[in-house]
Structure 1
């Protein structure tokens, strides 16, 4: 295999219902859709039987399994390469049995770097290994961390660019040693499949979720965590007993926790669906009268990535959002129907009532919202990132 691949590495087995994995898989998918030879590499944990052929020749890019395609709305241009991590890897707290160590010290130097034109990852240890092995690299960094970036890495001509999603993290990265000219703020994107209108599937969601066909449906899609505003949304639902609220996302224990919390507060008009495969999520967003984007104040509000916001936009459904730093730049657009302050369920409920009264549901979606989001496709994001890469270091275009 020629050394012409754009390699994305995720330090987690797939699939899992976590926002950073949605972001990373879709970033790779966007690059593949531009026509680059793109391979998504990730550890395949829990392998019971050791296959010597897999261990000796582990880099075998394949078409993503159908489960992965449906889970993250991937396209068939992307290739994947699961790295076998047999027992006892990650079963004991030892550096020698850590999948991150196995990947960066064994798989990549011997088998993947020889096939890599450009590396893209959130894994800083792998970035360092890549630079030391002469591999051009792109680093994604989406959270505050109190660590210094090694000068010999970030100042290397092989270190192409670092990407974050909000200015506050960019500032902290520069404070920690990242050269200002090597770090950019770039929003996440939306998957193009979310723009396909699915009126029949949307109608089925409404039929399934609405006890009263004349009622309204308000949907939240994303992580089920307190700082995301889920506790607040339960209070909002209590203020609006005739409206049906639905939350899509979260792990099974989080779903159980919030189901019990809602029941303890005698809030009967909120449903927790758990994680919805992305090939089903688009029609749910289109089924809603309003999409809710609550959030609490606090440190997380300064860096939280508005990942779901762009899929919200692509649905064309009116949005009610909380005024937090990572969203505030969208306040002067027509893409969000109403804004309210964080931590205030009564005001959020009032905003929802206002939007229900002024934005009647449109099966085809609101055109101004759909037009606005076009600039934020994953493909546009990938092209922007690669514009910072030296042309001689770009991966191969295969179509």
Structure 2
């Protein structure tokens, strides 16, 4: 998991261990020394025990190819963001990485993250900052291989259907259309209206050009 909210997973580990003693946890984006500085004594003891038994890894900078391999081999990817009412540090990028690798996702129930899957039929959400709820969600998913496989397929489908290039470009073009309608100058200034129209058309033409290139392959 990424470093935002990673300590929530640390606190959830003892609960998960009671049911799944062999699970390996990999923290990406923070090293062991950094982790020790953030954790309380009881949590430090938990991590030291996990590392000694080789069931916990801390990785900082790793090549993209290695990251892709780790995500592909992982059953669950966790985005345990803790915002405390602030949006800062709540990037959904790691969730998109999980989804495109078919990794089953568990994320904090932050509005910005729920927007990715409002139906909650692909991503499992847990109460922000609650390690016990996170542990329960992890245990529930790990308890069913069928559910994990189904969610993995749904993850790939979600990223392919909702977050592909076509959908994003159409959303952007739609946004430009809304801007044109909302900012129609009252004095019918051709220069103002023409500039916005041109911007929208340029994006549309660029998109159509990309489509033509893709058809060649």
- Normalising by structure 1, what TM-score? 0.37
- How far apart are residue 351 of structure 1 and its match? 0.8
**1:370 is matched with which residue: 136, 146, 156?**
156
In structure 1, what is the equivalent of residue 200 of structure 2?
Answer: 390
- Say if 1:323 and 1:342, in contact at 8 Å, map to a contact too: yes
Residue 359 to residue 300, structure 1, CA distance change in 2 (3 Å): farther
Structure with the higher fraction of residues in strand conformation:
1
Gaps spanning 5+ residues in structure 2: where?
Answer: 177-198
Distance 1:348 1:385 in 2: 35
Distance 1:272 1:303 in 2: 20
SS at match of 2:62: coil
In structure 2, what is the equivalent of residue 339 of structure 1?
Answer: 125
Residue 365 to residue 280, structure 1, CA distance change in 2 (3 Å): farther
**1:291 is matched with which residue: 77, 89, 94?**
77
Residue 299 to residue 395, structure 1, CA distance change in 2 (3 Å): same
- How far apart are residue 348 of structure 1 and its match? 0.7
Distance 2:66 2:27 in 1: 14
1:245 to 2:22 alignment: no
Distance 1:258 1:292 in 2: 17
In structure 1, what is the equivalent of residue 191 of structure 2?
Answer: none
1:276 to 2:62 alignment: yes
Distance 2:63 2:165 in 1: 18
- Say if 1:312 and 1:319, in contact at 8 Å, map to a contact too: yes
1:234 to 2:44 alignment: no
Question: What's the RMSD between the two structures over aligned residues?
Answer: 3.1
Residue 265 to residue 352, structure 1, CA distance change in 2 (3 Å): same
Q: Write out per-residue CA displacement over residues 294-321 of structure 1, whole angstroms, 9 at most, x where no aligned residue.
A: 1224133477221111121112222222
- Say if 2:16 and 2:138, in contact at 8 Å, map to a contact too: no
In structure 2, what is the equivalent of residue 264 of structure 1?
Answer: 44
* Aligned positions of 1:145-224 closer than 5 A: 220=1, 222=2, 224=3
Structure with the higher fraction of residues in helix conformation:
2
Q: Write out per-residue CA displacement over residues 232-278 of structure 1, whole angstroms, 9 at most, x where no aligned residue.
A: 1111123333222101224xxx6531156487333214311112222
Distance 1:343 1:335 in 2: 21
Distance 2:167 2:61 in 1: 27
Q: Write out per-residue CA displacement over residues 47-98 of structure 1, whole angstroms, 9 at most, x where no aligned residue.
A: xxxxxxxxxxxxxxxxxxxxxxxxxxxxxxxxxxxxxxxxxxxxxxxxxxxx
Gaps spanning 5+ residues in structure 1: where?
Answer: 1-219
Residue 332 to residue 303, structure 1, CA distance change in 2 (3 Å): farther
SS at match of 2:90: coil
- How far apart are residue 383 of structure 1 and its match? 5.7
Q: Write out per-residue CA displacement over residues 114-164 of structure 1, whole angstroms, 9 at most, x where no aligned residue.
A: xxxxxxxxxxxxxxxxxxxxxxxxxxxxxxxxxxxxxxxxxxxxxxxxxxx
Residue 395 to residue 340, structure 1, CA distance change in 2 (3 Å): closer
**1:313 is matched with which residue: 89, 95, 99?**
99
SS at match of 1:304: coil
SS at match of 1:266: helix
Residue 255 to residue 384, structure 1, CA distance change in 2 (3 Å): farther
- Say if 1:302 and 1:325, in contact at 8 Å, map to a contact too: no
